[in-house]
């Protein structure tokens, strides 16, 4: 019934109804397609800030020891300072986004 309200029906407010029967990946694909979205550069998951490359040695105390041993590239959010690296979680998210954007 919400989608039948005049503001939504007449396009005054953009809206997209996602069928609850679709899986999350299918819903994501629909959103990309309907809004013509492209996969952009990774952003901070906490605040949306830009990720800036960090010197590994300068942030050594912030990196988990096991991660420090196997990775050399790290990023920090330019807004909140949260630390990121291209681990398995990052790669999994990236693959799913690129698959949805097709």
Radius of gyration of the chain (CA): 19
Judgement on whether residues 4 and 49 belong to the same structural domain of the protein: no
Same domain, 82 and 45: yes
Model confidence, pTM: 0.72
Cβ atoms < 10 Å from Cβ of 50: 13
Residues 32 and 52 in one domain: no
Is the domain of 11 the same as that of 47? no
Q: How many other β-carbons are positioned within 10 Å of the β-carbon of residue 100?
A: 19
Instruction: Name the phi and psi angles at 41, rounded to 5.
Output: -70, 145
Question: Do 47 and 89 belong together in one domain?
Answer: yes
Alpha carbon distances (Å) from 95 to 20, 29, 31, 91: 23, 13, 16, 6
For residue 2, what are the domain limits?
1-37
Split at pLDDT 50, 70, 90, the class of 23 is very high
Same structural domain for residues 18 and 64? Answer: no
What is the rounded average pLDDT for all residues in the chain?
90
């Amino acid at each position: 019934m919400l989608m039948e309200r005049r503001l939504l029906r007449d396009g005054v407010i953009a809206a997209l109804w996602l069928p609850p029967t679709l899986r999350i990946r299918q819903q994501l694909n629909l959103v990309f397609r309907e809004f013509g979205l492209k996969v952009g550069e990774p952003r901070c998951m906490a605040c949306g800030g830009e990720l800036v490359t960090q010197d590994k040695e300068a942030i050594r105390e912030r990196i988990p020891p096991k991660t420090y041993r196997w990775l050399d590239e790290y990023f920090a959010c330019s807004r909140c300072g949260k630390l990121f690296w291209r681990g398995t979680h990052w790669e999994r998210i990236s693959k799913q986004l690129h698959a949805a954007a097709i």
